[in-house]
Amino acid sequence: MRKTIMLSAALAVFLGLAACGEKEPSKLTYGEAALELAKGADSFKTYIGGLDNKLVKWAGTVVETRKWHEDDFVPAAGMLVDADGKPGPDLFVTISVDDLEKVKTGAKVDFTAKLLGAADEKGVSVIKLEADTIH
């Protein structure tokens, strides 16, 4: 009985620590996601819905930063990012207002973010993400 209690306690501690740990980003590359986006926004949404891990760690160049207010007047921010080196943005990443000070137009940026879907940016489909951390 004593062994069972000790084993149960050890298992509880292990599971508790595992639940507290951060999820590692997936191995999904921007290039792989871009190929899926090229099939269309609806197809891309279905593709993302089927992913077990929607967290990615990508990099690029900041094309533009934005700040706005949500419906309840809470400030929000985002950045358009060029991920492939070709003209124009490829990603729209929602970031915290505090992170807006860290990112500058033309600067390189590394970030970990959750894939949300696709967005239309002046007639071009871009991948929409929500930043977890800006590196």
Identify the pLDDT of residue 8.
47
Would you say 66 and 122 are in contact if contact means Cβ atoms under 8 Å apart? no
Tokens at 17, concatenated: 């620590």
Q: What is the pLDDT along the chain (135 residues), one digit of tens a residue?
A: 444 444 444 444 444 444 445 589 999 999 999 999 999 999 999 999 999 999 999 999 999 999 999 888 899 999 999 999 999 999 999 999 999 999 999 999 999 999 999 999 999 999 999 999 999
Phi, psi (rounded to 5 degrees) for 35: -60, -40
Q: pTM for the complete prediction?
A: 0.82
CA dist 69 and 114 (Å) reads 21
Nearest alpha-carbon partner for 135 in 113, 120, 119, 116 = 113
Identify the pLDDT of residue 11.
42
Identify the pLDDT of residue 22.
59
CA dist 95 and 44 (Å) reads 22
Structural domains for the chain: 26-134 (2.40.50.140)
Identify the pLDDT of residue 72.
83
